[in-house]
Amino acid sequence: MDIEILNALLKPKSVAVIGASATPGKIGHTVLLNLQESKYKGGIYPINPKSDEILGFKCYKSVLNVKEQIDAAIIVVPAKFVLQIVDECGKKGIKGLLVITSGFAEVGKDDLEKEVVAKSRSYGMRVLGPNIVGVLSNSDDFNGSFAPFLPYKGTASLVSQSGALLIGIDAQTYTRGIGFDKLISIGNMSDVNFADTIEWLDQDEKTSCISLYVEGLNDGRCVIDKGRKATKPIIALKAGSSAHGAVAAASHTGSLAGSSKIYKSAFAQAGIIQAEDLDNLFDRTLVLSLQPPMKGDNVLIITNGGGVGVLGTDSAEKFGVPLKYTPPELQEKLKKYMPSFGSAKNPVDLTGMAGNDWYHDTVKIAFNHEWVDGLVVLYCETAMTNPLEIAKSIKKSVDDTGIKNKPIIASFVGGERSDKAMRWLVKNGIPAYAGPDVALNAISALKEYAKIREDSKDIPTTYDDANREKAMDVINYARNEERIALTEIEAKHVFAAYGLPVTRAKIAKSEEEAVSFANEIGFPIVMKIVSPDILHKSDAGGVIVDVNSIEDVRKFFNEIMENAKVYKADANIHGVVIQEMAPWGTEVILGSVNDPTFGPTMMFGLGGIFVEVLKDVTFRVAPFSKRQAAEMIGEINAAPILIGIRGEKPKDREALSDTICRYANMIYDLRDEINESDANPVLVYEEGDGLKVADARILLTKK
Please state the separation of Cα 279 from the chain's center in Å. 18
| Residue number, 23 or 175, with CB nearest to ligand COA | 23
Instruction: Please tell me the distance from the alpha carbon of residue 691 to that of residue 103, in angstroms, as a whole number.
Output: 55
Beta bridge partners of 184: 135, 159
- Of the residues 14, 38, 120, 131, which one makes contact with ligand COA according to CB under 6 A: 131
Query: Exposure pattern of 205-234 as b/e (b: 16+ CB <10 Å)?
Result: eebbbbbbbbbbbbbbbbbbebbbebebbb
Shortest distance in whole angstroms from residue 80 CB to ligand COA: 9
47 binds ligand COA (CB under 6 A): yes
Cα gap 34→43, rounded to integer Å: 14
SS3 301: strand
25 binds ligand COA (CB under 6 A): no
> In angstroms, what is the minimal distance from the CB of 29 to ligand COA?
7
530 near ligand COA (CB under 6 A): no
**C-beta of 15: minimal distance to ligand COA in Å?**
14
Compare residues 166 and 475 and give the one whose CB is closer to ligand COA. 166
Tell me whether residue 61 or residue 565 sits nearer to ligand COA (CB atom): 61
For residue 239, the minimal CB distance to ligand COA (Å) is 14
- Count of H helices and E strands in the chain? 24, 29
Q: Per CB under 6 A, does 56 bind ligand COA?
A: no
For residue 101, state whether it binds ligand COA (rule: CB under 6 A).
yes
Instruction: List the one residue from 81, 325, 371, 584 that touches ligand COA (CB under 6 A).
Output: 81
* Out of 48, 253, 255, 397, the residue judged to bind ligand COA by CB under 6 A: 48
Strand stretches in 622-690, DSSP E: 674-684
Q: What is the DSSP letter of 504?
A: P
Q: Any contact of residue 27 with ligand COA (CB under 6 A)?
A: yes
| Position among 103, 460, 541, 596 found at the interface with ligand COA (CB under 6 A) | 103
CB 569 within 8 A of CB 612: no
- 576 by Cβ neighbours in 10 Å (0-12 / 13-18 / 19+) ranks as buried
**Residue 309 binds to ligand COA (criterion: CB under 6 A):** no
Give yes or no for residue 46 binding ligand COA (CB under 6 A): no
Q: Which of 8, 9, 35, 76 binds ligand COA (CB under 6 A)?
A: 76
Which of 8, 77 has the CB closer to ligand COA? Answer: 77
Q: Taking contact as CB under 6 A, which single stretch among the options 125-133, 449-457, 585-593, 626-634 is the one that binds ligand COA?
A: 125-133
Residue 478, SS3? helix
Residue 32 as a binder of ligand COA (CB under 6 A): the answer is no
Contact 700, 479 (CB under 8 A): yes
- Give the shortest CB-27-to-ligand COA separation in angstroms: 4
Q: Which stretch binds ligand COA (CB under 6 A): 76-84, 457-465, 552-560, 576-584?
A: 76-84
Of 1, 2, 5, 22, the residue at the interface with ligand COA (CB under 6 A) is 22
Pairing of strands 180-185, 153-160: parallel
Q: Contact 530/561 with Cβ under 8 angstroms?
A: no
The yes or no reply on residue 90 touching ligand COA (CB under 6 A) is no
Specify the amino acid at residue 673.
E
For the chain, the distance separating the N- and C-terminal CA atoms, rounded to the nearest angstrom, is 32
Q: How far is the CB of 358 from ligand COA (least distance, A)?
A: 51
Examine residue 28 and tell whether it contacts ligand COA (CB under 6 A).
yes
Distances (CA, A) of 300 to 193, 322, 323: 40, 10, 7
Is residue 102 at the binding interface for ligand COA, with CB under 6 A as the rule? yes
SS3 assignment, position 3: helix
Under rule CB under 6 A, residue 325 binds ligand COA: no
Adjacent-strand bridge partners of 16: 45, 73
Q: Could you give phi then psi for residue 547, rounded to 5 degrees?
A: -90, 125
Number of residues that make up the chain: 703
Stretch that binds ligand COA, among 73-81, 209-217, 335-343, 445-453 (CB under 6 A): 73-81
Task: Tell the smallest beta-carbon distance from residue 59 to ligand COA (Å).
Answer: 9
Smallest distance, ligand COA to C-beta of residue 68, A: 18
- Taking CB under 6 A as the rule, does residue 49 contact ligand COA? yes
Question: How far apart are the C-alpha atoms of 191 and 197, rounded to whole Å?
Answer: 11
Q: How many positions of this chain bind ligand COA (CB under 6 A)? A: 27
Query: Cα–Cα distance between 215 and 91 in angstroms, integer?
Result: 35
Residue in 96, 151, 163, 233 binding ligand COA, rule: CB under 6 A: 163
User: Contact between 24 and ligand COA (CB under 6 A)?
Assistant: no
Which range of residues in 2-10, 16-24, 423-431, 656-664 is near ligand COA by CB under 6 A?
Answer: 16-24
Contact stretch for ligand COA (CB under 6 A) within 48-56, 172-180, 331-339, 640-648: 48-56
Identified binder of ligand COA from the candidate list 6, 17, 19, 182, rule CB under 6 A: 19
CA distance 485 to 170: 51
- In this chain, which residue has its C-beta nearest to ligand COA? 163
Any contact of residue 78 with ligand COA (CB under 6 A)? yes
Q: According to CB under 6 A, which one of 70, 94, 128, 132 is a site residue for ligand COA?
A: 132
Question: Which amino acid, one-letter code, is at 484?
Answer: I
Angstrom distance (rounded) from CA 418 to CA 432: 10
Peptide bond between residue 600 and the one before it cis (omega within 30 degrees of 0): no
Cβ atoms of 63 and 92 within 8 Å: the answer is yes
Under a CB-based contact definition with an 8 Å cutoff, are residues 126 and 97 in contact? Answer: yes
Nearer to ligand COA, 168 or 307 (CB): 168
- Residue 187 vs 347, nearer CB to ligand COA: 187
For the chain, the C-alpha Rg in angstroms (whole number) is: 31
CB nearer to ligand COA: give 51 or 203.
Answer: 51
> Is 50 one of the binding residues for ligand COA (CB under 6 A)?
yes
Residue from the set 133, 410, 666, 684 that interacts with ligand COA by CB under 6 A: 133
Among 1, 5, 13, 26, binds ligand COA (CB under 6 A): 26
List binders of ligand COA among 544-583 (CB under 6 A): none
Q: How many CA atoms lie within 13 A of 83 on its CB side?
A: 11
Q: What is the 3-state secondary structure (H, E, C) of 164-232?
A: HHHHHHHHHHHHHCCCEEEEEECCCCCCCCHHHHHHHHHHCCCCCEEEEEECCCCCHHHHHHHHHHCCC
- Per the CB < 8 A criterion, the answer to whether 554 and 534 are in contact is no
Beta carbon nearer to ligand COA, 74 or 443: 74
Contact footprint for ligand COA (CB under 6 A): 18-19, 21-23, 26-28, 47-51, 76-78, 81, 85, 100-103, 131-133, 163-164
